[in-house]
Each structure stands twice: as C-alpha cells, then as structure tokens.
C-alpha cells in the first residue's frame, strides 16, 4: 500500500473546513474494566466502552478554530470529517468541540481544536 501524505489534509467541523493544517491526530481508545475476583492470582480485565477524539492544529488564519468553540457550548453536536491530502475521507463521526486554544510564540501564531466523539465513528 502506498504511503499517505498529510499535506493538504482537511478537517471539516459542521459547515467549517479547516485547511493549512500541520497536524491532525485521531485517537480511538477503549476503557479496560478490572473484573478480578477475590482470590485470583492475576488481574482479569475486559474491554469496556470505546471513545474517540480528533485534535487538529493549524496556523492562525481569519477563520479561527476558537470561534467554533464559542459557538458550540449548549448547542448541538457537530459532524467531523478528516480527509487526507488526496481528498479521501479517512475518519468521520459526530462529536462536541471540547477544547480550543491558540499560541502566540515568537514565530507564527497557531491554534488547536479538540473534538470528543459521541457514539461510534461512522468511518472507518
């Protein structure tokens, strides 16, 4: 399978599409539940509920990620879609904007947005 490039990747959040991203991370995890019984010599664990989050970072532009966070509290969950540099959807789901930040170092201003998923992802 050929390697994929993240160059020109996009993240769509509701009707907003963020381009010029330099980092996109999709994390899926599952809780592990300890069901060890009294007298067991080894821990016994089973998988619990799954969860996912999308974190995107980009250089600041006029369409700020932070405005998405300001518009979300108390609102509806938003659709999120991550596309690779070729325009192929590599991840999609519905979630809540849970964090937004920007950094003003001695270089280019950057901003970050984090979405926590609600329910299973629709892609993959």
* pLDDT tens-digit readout, 9-57: 788 887 777 777 888 899 999 999 999 999 999 999 999 999 999 998 8
Pick the CATH number of 10-31+48-117 from 2.10.109.10, 2.30.300.10, 3.30.160.150, 3.40.50.720: 2.30.300.10
Cα(72)–Cα(50) distance, integer angstroms: 23
Q: What is the pLDDT of residues 90-122, one digit of tens each?
A: 999 999 888 888 888 888 888 888 889 999 999
Q: What are phi and psi of 4, to 5 degrees?
A: -100, 150
pLDDT at 64: 67
**Extents of the domains making up the chain:** 10-31+48-117
Beta strand 78-83 pairing with 89-103: antiparallel
pLDDT of 1 strictly over 60:
no
Task: Specify the pLDDT at position 40.
Answer: 96
Measured between alpha carbons, how far is 4 from 24 in angstroms, rounded to an integer?
Answer: 13
């Amino acid at each position: 399978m050929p390697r994929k490039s993240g160059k020109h990747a996009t993240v769509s959040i509701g009707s907003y599409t963020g381009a010029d991203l330099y980092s996109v991370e999709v994390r899926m995890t599952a809780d592990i539940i300890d069901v060890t019984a009294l007298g067991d010599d080894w821990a016994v664990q089973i998988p619990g509920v799954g969860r996912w989050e999308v974190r995107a970072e980009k250089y600041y532009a006029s369409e700020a990620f932070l405005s998405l966070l300001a518009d979300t509290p108390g609102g509806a969950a938003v659709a999120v879609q991550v596309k690779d540099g070729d325009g192929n959807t590599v991840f999609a789901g519905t979630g809540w904007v849970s964090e937004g930040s920007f950094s003003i170092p001695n270089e280019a201003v950057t901003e970050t947005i984090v979405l926590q998923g609600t329910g299973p992802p629709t892609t993959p």
